[in-house]
């Protein structure tokens, strides 16, 4: 079964006081449930109502949120379970680590680009 777990780091968000934890959770729920028709379960899990189109709904939700610093900096767990035909443990991907790594690579590329443009001046 395809599912995704997104758990915010509640203690960190409250301690830092930069964001409203309830508003953050509302946005995550809105993207997964209201905009993409997924079902919210316990412990931050989101499920597809039906297997048809589940992958597309999860990816649409993911790509709506993946570039949001407010989420990446404050998510404790973001796991993608991409399993329909295989044992679940063989189909688990850490979306948090993937997108943090992607963000860092993008920032390094932008920094190199700015440095090379400055060298041309």
Residue-wise pLDDT for 44-62, tens only, equals: 999 998 888 999 999 999 9
Q: 59 with 80: CB under 8 angstroms?
A: no
Residue-wise pLDDT for 13-38, tens only, equals: 999 999 999 999 999 999 999 999 99
- Whole-number pLDDT of residue 120: 60
| Strand extents, DSSP E, the chain | 3-8, 38-40, 45-48, 75-81, 92-94
- Whole-number pLDDT of residue 102: 86
Task: Using DSSP bridges, classify how beta strands 3-8 and 38-40 pair: parallel, antiparallel or unpaired.
Answer: unpaired
- Whole-number pLDDT of residue 56: 95
Checking if the pLDDT of 98 tops 60, the result is yes
The Cα 24–Cα 13 span in angstroms is 9
- Whole-number pLDDT of residue 11: 97
- pTM score, two decimals? 0.82
Q: Kindly list the structural domains of the chain, giving each domain's residue range(s) and its CATH number in brackets, ordered by start.
A: 3-120 (3.30.70)
- Whole-number pLDDT of residue 117: 78
Q: Which residue has the tokens 């995704």?
A: 4
The closest alpha carbon to 45, from 55, 58, 56, 34, belongs to 58
- Whole-number pLDDT of residue 103: 86
Total number of residues shown for the chain: 121
């Amino acid at each position: 079964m395809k599912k995704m777990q997104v758990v915010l780091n509640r203690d960190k968000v409250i301690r830092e006081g930069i964001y409203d934890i309830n508003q953050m959770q509302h946005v995550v729920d809105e993207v997964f449930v209201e905009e993409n028709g997924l079902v919210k379960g316990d412990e931050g899990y989101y499920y597809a109502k039906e297997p048809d189109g589940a992958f597309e709904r999860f990816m649409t939700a993911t790509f709506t949120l993946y570039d949001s610093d407010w989420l990446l900096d404050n998510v404790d767990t973001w796991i993608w379970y991409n399993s329909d035909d295989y044992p679940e443990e063989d189909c688990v991907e850490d979306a948090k680590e993937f997108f943090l790594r992607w963000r860092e690579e993008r920032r390094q590329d932008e920094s190199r680009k700015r440095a090379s443009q400055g060298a041309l001046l």
